[in-house]
Amino acid sequence: MKVLKKIGDFFVAMVPFFVYVGVQFVVALLGMFTALAIEIAASSSILETISVGSELFITIVVYTICFLAAFAEMKIHRFKFRDISPVRQNGRVYLLAVFFALGLFFVLKLAEMLFVKVTGENVVEAVQETAGFMIVITAIAYLTECFVEEFVFRGLMTKTFEMRFPVWVGAVIITVTYALWHWDYVKGYSVLFGAVLIFIRYKFEDLKLCFMVHLIVTFMYVAMSMVTWKNYEAMIMIGSIVGIVIVVLSMLFMIKFASKAETVSDQV
């Protein structure tokens, strides 16, 4: 009976992820069919795929609706934001998090590069078009994606798991789930990135830090994919060496300056 109860607890704790996947699939499917129908009507020809612009617009719509669904789920569980993000860190920690994220990006790119060399597989490019208005749409798409993923994975899921399992169990399951969900296009560092984000969430108890780090790393990834670099591998190697130093030092100071849950009473 205890085993069955634990299995039941697991599926209940995973509900935020199941809702996220279900809403994303349904809305994306409806959006793609709608966009394809509109583009066929406009061009008077048969199309097999939609344009990149339509795809990015659908992405924004999908993640916006996913956020609304996650917010509704938070209300159903009667969670408040301070329940999933109990601490508000001080300005020094947020500033250090910027440097941490920049250094982390190069470390993650090194992991990706090594993964490609060892397995022979390639990762999917983050950006296909970068001219003009497409840059703005791309930025908005990745902004909404980062925000919703942190709200679901390091927000709602951390809360639902810690209500039923020890912290380390929730941390492992959330990290593995996040890694598998992103396995198609960030194979080289999906596990590492997920582990870092869940560490930040539990260590600093501030979801905004997770969002900042996720956003900066993602935009760095997108920016790097927009241009062709000479001596790319050498640049990543040098950047990762410097990045490791930055990551270690910035994390040590973040821990030193971090606010504690018991000292913060005016959460929003």
133 vs 242, more confident? 242
Alpha-carbon Rg for the chain, nearest whole angstrom, is: 20
Q: Is the pLDDT of residue 191 over 70?
A: yes
Q: What mean pLDDT is predicted for residues 258-267?
A: 54
HEC sequence for the chain: CHHHHHHHHHHHHCHHHHHHHHHHHHHHHHHHHHHHHHHHHHHCCCCCCCCHHHHHHHHHHHHHHHHHHHHHHHHHCCCCHHHHCCCCCCHHHHHHHHHHHHHHHHHHHHHHHHHHHHHCCCCCCCCCCCCCHHHHHHHHHHHHHHHHHHHHHHHHHHHHHHCCCCHHHHHHHHHHHHHHHCCCCCCCCHHHHHHHHHHHHHHHCCHHHHHHHHHHHHHHHHHHHHCCCCCHHHHHHHHHHHHHHHHHHHHHHHHHHCCCHHHCCCCC
Mean pLDDT, residues 4-17 taken together:
91
Q: Between these two residues, 130 and 160, which has the higher pLDDT value?
A: 160
79-129: pLDDT as tens digits: 888 889 999 998 999 999 999 999 999 998 888 887 777 766 665 554 444
On the question of pLDDT at 71 being above 90, the answer is yes
Residues above pLDDT 70, as percent of the chain? 85
- CA dihedral of 172, 198, 142, 70, whole degrees rounded to 10: 80
pLDDT in tens, 45-67: 665 667 777 888 888 999 999 99
- Residue range 216-236, pLDDT digits in tens: 998 888 777 766 667 777 888
- The predicted model gives 19-25 an average pLDDT of 95
> Quick one: pLDDT at residue 124?
52
Is a pLDDT exceeding 60 seen at residue 16? Answer: yes
Average pLDDT, rounded, for the chain: 84
